Amino acid sequence: MSIKQNLQNIKDTIPNEVTLVAVSKTKPIPDLQEAYNAGQRIFGENKIQEMVQKWETLPKDIEWHMIGHVQRNKVKYMAKFVSLIHGVDSLKLLTEINKQAAKHNRIIPCLLQVHIATEETKFGLNEEELNELLNSEDFKKLKNIQIKGLMGMATFTSDKSQIKKEFNSLKSIYNNTKNSIPTITILSMGMSGDYQIAIKEGSTMVRIGSSIFGVRNYK
């Protein structure tokens, strides 16, 4: 099936108020152009260098989302154009984003990544660390970043009840966080394999790659 068709199929199954991020990591420019021609304007990448190259080549009305783990020394390459950084999980990283955003007179929207999966390897804060960060004086001084919400990834498993439980726990952390920061509006959860569960559990933004562009070939 074509990229256009895949996009349409997904749009038909998600509510209007849920934002679709087309995860185009590892995919060549013509694939992204095809999605763009079909009306897609939000793309997600997980490597800064790759995102910069695509940003340089493709139309400038695209919103670029960084969905991968960000190395602090590379923030400077995306600071002038990135629309949303999903995977922020430390004050150190936020401080660097703030510094680079200030150089471009920007306020960069960020999501804080919360660890909900059972796997050790997934990045993210637990609820206590999240609250500690949000309540710290150093955080309050950062004027060039804006926390727009939370992001999380469920365990890679076929056990749907496990996935549901994890998304549900993220939703409740999101609700608690919204009490202290009423301006947050984004709960980024759900990928190709689990976005339907994520939406039922309250996701407002899904990050979908392989169901749009086909399986990825890592070389």
Ligand X SMILES: *Cc1c(COP(=O)(O)O)cnc(C)c1O
Measured CA to CA, the distance from residue 91 to residue 189 in angstroms comes to: 22
Number of residues that bind ligand X (CB under 6 A): 14
The strand pairing partners of 149, in sequence order, are 111, 186
What would the x/- binding string for ligand X be over residues 105 to 144, using CB under 6 A? ----------------------------------------
Please identify, using beta-carbon distances, which residue of 66 and 130 lies nearer to ligand X: 66
In 10 A of CB 131, how many CB atoms? 15
What would the x/- binding string for ligand X be over residues 36 to 55, using CB under 6 A? ----------x---------
Stretch that binds ligand X, among 12-20, 94-102, 166-174, 206-214 (CB under 6 A): 206-214
Residue 193 in contact with ligand X, rule: CB under 6 A: yes
Measured CA to CA, the distance from residue 23 to residue 64 in angstroms comes to: 10
Measured CA to CA, the distance from residue 140 to residue 210 in angstroms comes to: 38
Q: For residue 54, how far is the Cα from the chain centroid?
A: 17
Residue 192 in contact with ligand X, rule: CB under 6 A: yes
Least spacing, CB of residue 195 vs ligand X, in Å: 8
Residue 32 in contact with ligand X, rule: CB under 6 A: no
Structure tokens, 71: 């190395």
DSSP character string of 150-173: EE----S-S-HHHHHHHHHHHHHH
What would the x/- binding string for ligand X be over residues 61 to 90, using CB under 6 A? ------xx----------------------
Structure tokens, 26: 């590892």
* b (16+ CB within 10 A) / e for 173-195: bbeebeeeeeebebbbbbbbebb
Please identify, using beta-carbon distances, which residue of 142 and 205 lies nearer to ligand X: 205
Stretch that binds ligand X, among 4-12, 72-80, 138-146, 202-210 (CB under 6 A): 202-210
Stretch that binds ligand X, among 56-64, 91-99, 116-124, 189-197 (CB under 6 A): 189-197
Question: What residues make contact with ligand X under the rule CB under 6 A?
Answer: 23, 25, 46, 67-68, 153, 191-193, 207-211
